[in-house]
Amino acid sequence: MASAIAAKLMALSTLRRKQAKNFTVRICTMESDLEFSCEVLDQEVPKEEPIILHFLAKFYPEDAEEELVQDATQHLFFLQVKNKILEEEIHCPPEASVLLASYAVHAKYGDYDAKLHKPGFLSQEELLPKRVFNLYQMTAEMWEERITACYAEHRGRTRDEAEMEYLKIAQDLDMYGVNYFFIRNKKGTDLLLGVDALGLHIYEPHNRLTPKCSFPWNEIRNISYSEKEFAIKPLYKKTNVFKFNSSRLRVNKLILQLCIGNHDLFVRRRRVDCLEVQQMKAQAKEERARKQLERQRLEREKQREKHLREEAERARDDLERRLRQLKEEADMANEALMRSEQTADLLAEKAQIAEEEAQLLAQKAAEAGLETQRIKVRALRGQEERRAMEQKMLEAEMLALKMAEESERRAKEAEQLKQDLQEARESERRAKNKLLEITSQAVGPPQPPLADLMPQDLSFSRENLSFDFKDTDMKRLSMEIEKEKVEYMEKSKHLQEQLNELKTEIESLKLKERETPLDILHNQNTEQGTSKHSNFKKVSMAYTLKPMCINTQTSIEYI
């Protein structure tokens, strides 16, 4: 297994050695780096298996947005910086940790969607350093809520843009890009040497945030190395030479390599880019423009698809509303039909009652006639009885007349009820016809499928971009770089306000007794307005950049 790894590394070392100088392969249990020109097993590596290798950026960029041209390089560097922050190799304040975590979540999951990203979707993610969890009386759900709130504000950014925003915030941290080494000065005092893209820094062992003194690369005349002793000679002769030593040979070689590489990159950043770099930047800019056009095209397609979907939903709602209306009309027709049937039954019952009453009146009239005949027979028996009988007969006739009139009136009412019954049955028939007509109209024409409404493919064209760089003197280029830094700080005002707002929200839950020494130092620096760039503001903008010379009195044979 080790021989296979060695073969792969040897093959890797033959590819583009110029670009490989900015990266290193490091074994996780070693402080030094592997040499690409030698086999792995010929170097000082542990004999245990498996051997874990880390492919890391050896030199950190000053401005990640300007120097990280390719997306793959940006993504790998983003993962490296994120891992160092989570492992607390780079100190990060809590409010900045929350904002960085929100950009890391956006780079992984894309735009926030409340339907997909429900509470608890970050429960398995490692987003904040353990120090931040222990520093506040807050649960994981409370941290997730604050991270999600920031994450929702990043809508519309791509993964590359989210990673770049992460790096732009991380590069302003005090420990970003600083390689620390234990050293001793001439008096034997233990110190820390910090090497980064801006220069050399001397720290106290317990304070890695604020350097005691700094030597920018443009103020260093040369660095001499003899056996285990280093000497930093400043540009100005009035400044004393700073000497220090380290007891380990491999560490001394690594310090020397970092000094040479960072100084070389410091000089190259302040010169006009070579033709190869210009071409790479032009290609990257063209690729970004193409991706931007592609995103705009996709966004237009999404908007059009959304519009068509809304129209289809509106048409569906109209059909559903029409169906509900027809259903209501059918229900009303059914109710009218039921009422008509009830009315017809009631009228039929009334007609039957009227017929029975008419038959009863006819029977009473017949009985009155029989009574009249009996009275007439009795009238023959006597005159007086006759008059009385005539009187009674007259009364009986009048009563019979009234009974006949009443019977006729009842007959007319019965006839009228029969007519009403016929009209009710006619109304029932019309209601049934209306119900059949409504039922036949309930089915509408089929809707066209949504697939026919999908947008056609859009085409776009891109223009070739060209760049024309002209040489300028170093002084004017440095002033322009400082001016761009001032403009960048002004643009970062909103970011600083957002960080302050996050810090204010979680400050009440902070546990003072759990603060680490780096947290206390960071808070003191924040109150005093001290940052990683404050030491360089005292240095004059005008300087003469002289080439760095390496004076080695004793030659070193690399193993």
pLDDT band at 457 (very low <50, low <70, confident <90, very high): very low
| Ranges 8-12, 185-189, 447-451, 462-466, most confident | 185-189
- pLDDT at residue 509 greater than cutoff 90: no
pLDDT band at 147 (very low <50, low <70, confident <90, very high): very high
Taking the alpha carbons of 396, 398, 403, 404 in that order, is the dihedral positive or negative?
A: positive
Distance CA 555, CA 259 (A): 17
Residue with tokens 């009710």: 424
Encoded tokens for 526: 């924040």
- Per-residue model confidence as pLDDT tens digits over 75-100: 999 999 999 999 999 999 999 999 99
- Per-residue model confidence as pLDDT tens digits over 315-324: 999 999 999 9
Average pLDDT over residues 304-311: 88
- Check whether the bond before 50 is cis (ω within 30° of 0): yes
pLDDT band at 539 (very low <50, low <70, confident <90, very high): very low
- pLDDT at residue 455 greater than cutoff 80: no
pLDDT band at 204 (very low <50, low <70, confident <90, very high): very high
Average pLDDT over residues 485-489: 64
| pLDDT of 191 | 92
pLDDT band at 489 (very low <50, low <70, confident <90, very high): low
- pLDDT at residue 24 greater than cutoff 80: no
Question: What rounded mean pLDDT belongs to the chain?
Answer: 77
Rounded to 5 degrees, φ, ψ at 447 are: -85, 145
- pLDDT at residue 458 greater than cutoff 60: no
> Angle at the Cα of 323 (from 320 to 325), degrees rounded to 5?
110
Encoded tokens for 125: 């993610």
| pLDDT of 494 | 67
- Per-residue model confidence as pLDDT tens digits over 544-555: 344 444 343 333
- pLDDT at residue 468 greater than cutoff 50: no
| Residue 473: C-alpha distances to residues 192, 200, 270, 559 (Å) | 36, 25, 10, 42
- Per-residue model confidence as pLDDT tens digits over 100-133: 999 999 999 988 888 888 888 888 888 899 998 8
| pLDDT of 98 | 93
Task: Find the length of the chain.
Answer: 559
- pLDDT at residue 157 greater than cutoff 60: yes
| pLDDT of 200 | 92
- pLDDT at residue 203 greater than cutoff 90: yes
SS3 track for 434-484: HHHHHHHHCCCCCCCCHHHHCCCCCCCCCCCCCCCCCCCCHHHHHHHHHHH
| pLDDT of 555 | 32
Distance CA 368, CA 362 (A): 10
Encoded tokens for 390: 């005539």
Q: Residue 540 forms beta bridges with which residues?
A: none
| pLDDT of 78 | 93
Secondary structure class of 50 (helix, strand, coil): coil
- pLDDT at residue 167 greater than cutoff 90: yes
| pLDDT of 54 | 78
- pLDDT at residue 166 greater than cutoff 90: yes
- Per-residue model confidence as pLDDT tens digits over 330-389: 999 999 999 988 998 899 889 889 888 888 998 888 888 888 888 777 766 766 766 776
Distance CA 209, CA 486 (A): 23
Rounded to 5 degrees, φ, ψ at 109 are: -105, -10
- Give CB contacts under 8 A, 24+ apart, made by 53-57: 53/5, 53/25, 53/26, 53/27, 53/28, 54/25, 54/26, 54/27, 54/28, 55/23, 55/24, 55/25, 56/23, 56/24, 56/25, 56/26, 56/80, 57/22, 57/23, 57/24
- pLDDT > 70: percent of the chain: 77
Other CB atoms within 10 A of residue 254 CB: 20
- Per-residue model confidence as pLDDT tens digits over 268-289: 888 887 788 778 888 878 888 8
